[in-house]
Each structure stands twice: as C-alpha cells, then as structure tokens.
C-alpha cells in the first residue's frame, strides 16, 4: 500500500515551497529511487523543469501535468490541488503544503481522502530555515 507523507511548511513563500520540493527530490534520488513530480498545469511544469535543469539525464526524475507517469517510478511528488488518480501505483506519495490558507485547506482535503481510504499517513513539520535538515 502506498505510504503518504505530508510536509507542512511554516512559510507562505512559494520560493520556500520550491526549495523544500528540491530538497525532497534530491533526497529521493540520493536513495536510488526514481521520482515523478505531478504538477497542476503547464506553467508549473515549465517552472520546475527549469528548477531541475542542473540534473543530468541519468537522474530518474520526470515532471508533468498530464496523464500517468512512466511505469516503474518509485515516488510521486504531488504539486496538484487534487489527488492524482494514479497515486496508488507508487511506493510513496509526497505532498508539500505551505502556510497559505487555500493551499492548507486543499492539503487537508487530500489528507482526508487518503485517510478515508486507509492509506498510511505521515506528517512532517518543516521550518523554512531548517529545510536542509529534512530527513
């Protein structure tokens, strides 16, 4: 069953959210896992592709807002406001929620969705200045 991890950021700054996402991606890749980042739209996809352009083609990362990702990907990082229909294909689904009213409420809705279906849930509170210490 897919493990679902929420990272609750104490900042409403979108740059802090991107920094947290970058750290989670690097940690995932460092553990030898592949990761798919599911974005909400083409604009978000283009922005993140730019954020990760320094990674080589050998790194196992995909970023997209359309359809299902490649098979055999280990980790899903959901940046969409909704739970992707394919999330249960992954070993782990990561959700990053920053401290902004609408984002927080949508995060709570996704949490309830996973909870009602019995998925194992974990949450981590992250201080913006402590992101480098994420484990």
The pLDDT tens digits of the residues spanning 13-53 come to: 888 988 999 999 999 999 999 999 999 999 999 988 888 88
Q: How far apart are CA 27 and CA 105, in angstroms?
A: 27
Query: Is position 28 within any domain?
Result: yes
- Assess if residue 43 is contained within a domain: yes
Neighbours of 59 (CB within 10 A): 13
84 occurs within a structural domain: yes
107, pLDDT greater than 90? yes
pLDDT of residue 58: 58
Let me know if residue 45 belongs to a domain. yes
Residue closest to 80 by CA, chosen among 99, 93, 90, 89: 93
**Full-model pTM:** 0.90
Domain harbouring 90, CATH code: 3.40.50.10110
The two three-digit tokens of residue 71, written as one number: 């098979």
| Three-state DSSP state, 103 | helix
Q: How many domains does the chain have?
A: 1
> Which residue has better confidence, 2 or 68?
2
- The tens digit of pLDDT for each residue in 43-99 reads 999 988 888 888 765 578 999 998 788 888 999 999 999 999 999 999 999 999 988
Where in the sequence is the domain holding 42, given as residue range(s)?
A: 8-133
Q: Is residue 98 classed exposed, middle or buried when 0-12, 13-18 and 19+ CB atoms within 10 A define those classes?
A: buried
Taking the C-alpha atoms of residue 104 and residue 133, their distance in angstroms, rounded to an integer, is: 23
For residue 100, tell me if it sits in a domain.
Answer: yes
More confident site: 70 or 105: 105
The answer to whether residue 135 scores a pLDDT higher than 50 is no
Does residue 24 sit in helix, strand or coil? helix
Structure tokens at 96: 């990053």
Provide the token pair at 75. Answer: 């980790």
Would 2 be classed as within a structural domain?
no
| 119 within a domain of the structure (yes/no) | yes
């Amino acid at each position: 069953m897919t493990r679902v991890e929420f990272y609750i950021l104490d900042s409403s700054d979108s740059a802090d959210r991107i920094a947290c996402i970058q750290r989670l991606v690097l940690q995932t890749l460092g553990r030898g896992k592949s990761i798919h980042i599911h974005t909400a739209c083409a604009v978000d996809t283009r922005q993140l592709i730019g954020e990760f352009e320094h990674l080589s083609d050998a790194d196992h990362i995909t970023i997209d807002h359309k359809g299902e990702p490649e098979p055999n990907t280990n980790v899903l990082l959901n940046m969409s406001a909704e739970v992707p229909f394919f999330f249960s294909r992954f070993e782990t689904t990561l959700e990053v929620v920053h401290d902004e009213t609408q984002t927080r409420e949508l995060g709570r809705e996704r949490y309830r969705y996973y909870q009602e279906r019995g998925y194992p849930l974990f949450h981590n509170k992250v201080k913006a200045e402590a992101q480098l210490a994420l484990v």
